[in-house]
Every structure is written in C-alpha cells, then in structure tokens.
Amino acid sequence: MMPLLANAPLAPTQRAIGAFVAGLPVLIADEENAGTLVLPVEGLTAERLAALAACGDAPIDLFVSGTRAAALGTDGIATGVVRLPPAIDCEEVVALASAADRDAAVAPGGRVAAAAIELAKLARLLPAALAIRGRVVARPAPADAVPHVTASEVLAFRAGLAGSLRRVSSARVPLADAGDSQFNVFRDALGQFWTAVVIGALDRSRPVPVRLHSACLTGDAFGSQRCDCGDQLRMAIAMIAACGGGVLLYLDQEGCGIGLANKMRAYALQDRGLDTIDANTVLGFDRDERRYDIAARMLRLLDIEDVALLTNNPTKMAGLREAGVSIAERIALVAPVNNSNRDYLRAKQQRAGHLIDSTGDEVSDA
C-alpha cells in the first residue's frame, strides 16, 4: 500500500467514531445481515429516539456489553440485546444502559452488537447503542451522510492503532522533582496523544526504569483523595530521577481506559456503595479496559527493549510482556493511604490482585 494510504483500513471506523461522538447514527454491515442502523445511547434525546424508530419497520433493540448484561441479570454472554417496548422514553433507555437498579431480559448479541459496543468504547461513551434493522438494509446514498462500516473493520480497529503511532513533537521540560527531562509526544490514528517523558540520561546497557502511568485528571492535576494516582505520578518521577534516568509513559487511559466522563459516572456509583470494579462493570465496561500495545510501541520507538517496571499491577506486567517488552524486574510503588482512597486500594488489592501487601494494615479497616 502506498504511504499516502497507509492508514486507509482505519478510515471507515474513524468516521464511524466521529459520528458516534456527535450523537449521529452509523450503518454497520456484517455477514449476518446487510445493515443495522445504530445510534449511541449517550446524548439520546426524545427527538433522536423518535427519528430512529421512523427509520425501520422493526422494534428498536438496545445493544449492551456482556458485563452490562450481567448487571441486568443475564450472565455468560459476550454482548446482549434488549428488545425495547414501543413506548419507552429516552430516560428509561439510559437507565437500562447504566443504572445499578435495573433488570431486563437480555438475549445474546452477535458481531454487529459487538461492533456497536466497541464504537461506543472507542468514542469514550457509555458502552451501549440503539439498533434498528427492518427495512434499513442497504448502504445509504452519500447524501444521507450516514457512515457505513463493517463489523470486521470496527473489531479490528484497536489492533491497528499501535502501528499508526507517530512521534509528532519533542521538547526539553525541567521538572521540579527530576531536573532535566524531555517530553516526546506521540499521536495515533484516533487523534489521541501519548507522552513519553525521558528523565535524565538513559542507560540502555541495563534495564531502563519505566513507569506506565494512566492519565488521571482528578488525581494528577487536582490532588484527588479518591485514588493514589497523583502520589504515584510524583513518586515515580522522583524514583526514576534517583535511578539516574528512565522513562515515564503518560498514557491516555483515564479511568482504566473508560474516559473521564465515564469515570465520573463510576464515582457516582461508588458513592452509592459499589467498589471501583463493580462500578465499571455495572456501566458495561470490563474491570480494566486498558491495552498495552501502544505503550510497547512507544518503548520500541525510543529504542528501549529491557525495562525495570515501576508497578504494583500484575495485569500491566502481563500486558506489556504480551506486547513484546522484556521486564527484568518489578519495582514496587506504594503510595500513602487516606480515608478517602482506602476502599479503592483495598478493591485493587483484594479483587484486582495488585501487589500492595507491603501496606499491610494501612489498607485494612483499622
């Protein structure tokens, strides 16, 4: 493929993601049907719901993820379909997609449902979509301005993002806790920015100290007490500097990959008694939506092959190794515990397997 068209296979899904972000419909085709018109649940209005109903001669379905199906009472399916009654209003649709106190009959979904959920996740929306089939079975004319994409294109999109990553700018940025550093900014085909902060001088003859830090606006910038992210960020910078040099990868993975708006929704559920893991799954997300192939690609572009990883998260280690990075050792990164983040840290320790045993009774109820 000529260089000018290197990212062409990603283009249909990029357009579909843009439509979802704008609250517009997308036509998804697959071998199981000629076309399904889907609309994101987030941003739904009564007018959009009525307009969607007018597009077909079949009832509207609600596509949900497997974790949301479980929250609605049906376990063991990858994606689900809820048949909606004709008189349903948009508030109840949103509640079926995200509220903690709803039950519904859920049938297994297929590849189109999986693609619609993936589009919503890629757009950082609630992972739910409305769908109508009926007579909406053909590619719309260009004048209709409805993006057309296949389920296969959507489901393969994420795997192509790492290969689309390019370094777009670099500059020296002195840091309070580390002195000289260089910020290297990368951009992927989705337009997301990923930053590699090179601290001090890299010695590639030994494992390079590396921290993978998922962006956390509330903790990193505002000092939120609900998590330990800001403390871990500053500790990691100081530890890497003390080692003589290394890299902090600042990754666009707010809220374990669900995005800032969904993180706030999860916080609201936590305020009602759910822990951090159950809040994510009630909303329809996996426990952890992060992937590490982009982080691995960043390290390769920096000519780093062997790392000493600052982390307490075994899943992060496994994901990075699966992406081809050699991890010579793990360096613990234990941040202070406070009354606001104690339950959060306990859930990470007891339910997500984070290696923070060294905090001992600090994470207990004592």
Annotated catalytic residues are 288, 290
Give 306's contacts (C-beta < 8 A, 6+ positions apart).
204, 206, 207, 208, 326, 328
What residue type is assigned to position 151 of the chain? Answer: A
Collect all residues with Cβ–Cβ distance below 8 Å to 147 and sequence separation of at least 6: 12, 15, 16, 18, 19, 24, 26, 27
With contact defined as beta carbons under 8 Å apart, do 30 and 115 qualify?
Answer: yes
Give the count of beta carbons closer than 10 Å to the beta carbon of residue 342. Answer: 15
Task: Give the three-state DSSP class for 175.
Answer: strand
Cα–Cα separations (whole angstroms), residue 325 to 166, 247, 316: 19, 14, 11
CA dihedral 271, 264, 186, 154 (to 10 degrees): 110
Rounded Cα distance, 223 and 230, in Å: 6
